[in-house]
Amino acid sequence: MTITLYSLCGADAARPFSPHCWKVVMALHHKGLAFEERPLAFTAIPTTENGFSKTVPFIRDGQELISDSFRIAQYLEEHYPDEPSLFGGQGGVAAARFVEGYSQQVVHGVVSRIALSDIHAMLAPTDQDYFRKSREERLGRTLEEVAAGRDAAIAALPAALQPLRHMLGHQPFVGGATPLFADYIVFGALQWLKITTGSIHLPADDPVSRWFDRCLDLYEGVGRAVA
């Protein structure tokens, strides 16, 4: 049975860009599971699978529908225990929640401030209206005001990644010698930045860039295939 992954796209369905969806793409490849990705426009999400979820990613696996990237990873770990582990034990599951906290509370903030206008530009017109309204309400600023801080956000990115750089002084992946879901969590954030803005805005010899390249190399370069 092929799993269906509902993800997110703009006007071009061939360029899914959501950080949370990329986590699941990588997790499905990690488990070696066959899946079909169906990227949705923002405004198509509420009418898909009878409005099962307001957000993507969600997956259909036979009769099961599961939403939320972390819950999907836990579901895959539980239901496909014979495939390579996504967490490396219970300590890894628990610590991955902390990595999620770091990624969403620190990295996503900086990426948003860099990429917001680029994301808006990628969307179909209907989605642009939804996106502008929802994001401006959430941020309390116009997209143009956020865009004015873009250079400052790019300048702030290296410092935000310092915890990752420290870890990379000891090991090649957050997962240790090989990647785990914790890697895909942070990879998702930088892949989101790369697809929406064309760059991760870091020097090529930054340890974080080299780690990101190693992630792009995984699973026959699935991450590299979308640019």
Question: Which lies closer to a second copy via its Cβ, residue 14 or residue 177?
Answer: 177
b (16+ CB within 10 A) / e for 127-151: bbeebeeebbeeeeeebeebbeebe
- State the minimum distance, in angstroms, from the CB of residue 70 to a second copy: 8
| 3-class DSSP assignment, residue 188 | helix
Question: Which lies closer to a second copy via its Cβ, residue 182 or residue 195?
Answer: 182
What is the number of helices (H) and of strands (E) in the chain? 10, 4
- State the minimum distance, in angstroms, from the CB of residue 86 to a second copy: 9
Q: φ and ψ at 61, to 5 degrees?
A: -125, 95
Instruction: Kindly list the distances between the CA atom of residue 36 and the CA atoms of 10, 117, 128, in Å, as whole numbers in the listed order.
Output: 18, 29, 26
- State the minimum distance, in angstroms, from the CB of residue 198 to a second copy: 27
- State the minimum distance, in angstroms, from the CB of residue 162 to a second copy: 4
Give the span between the Cα atoms of 117 and 197, in whole angstroms: 9
Residues near a second copy (CB under 8 A) are 85, 87-102, 104-106, 162-167, 170-171, 173-176, 180, 182
Instruction: Kindly list the distances between the CA atom of residue 182 and the CA atoms of 21, 96, 136, in Å, as whole numbers in the listed order.
Output: 14, 5, 30
Question: Which lies closer to a second copy via its Cβ, residue 126 or residue 171?
Answer: 171
Question: Which lies closer to a second copy via its Cβ, residue 40 or residue 96?
Answer: 96
Give which of 36, 54, 37 is closest to 45, Cα–Cα: 54
- State the minimum distance, in angstroms, from the CB of residue 77 to a second copy: 11
Q: Using the structure block, give the residue that is written with the tokens 């090991």.
A: 171
Question: Which lies closer to a second copy via its Cβ, residue 32 or residue 89?
Answer: 89
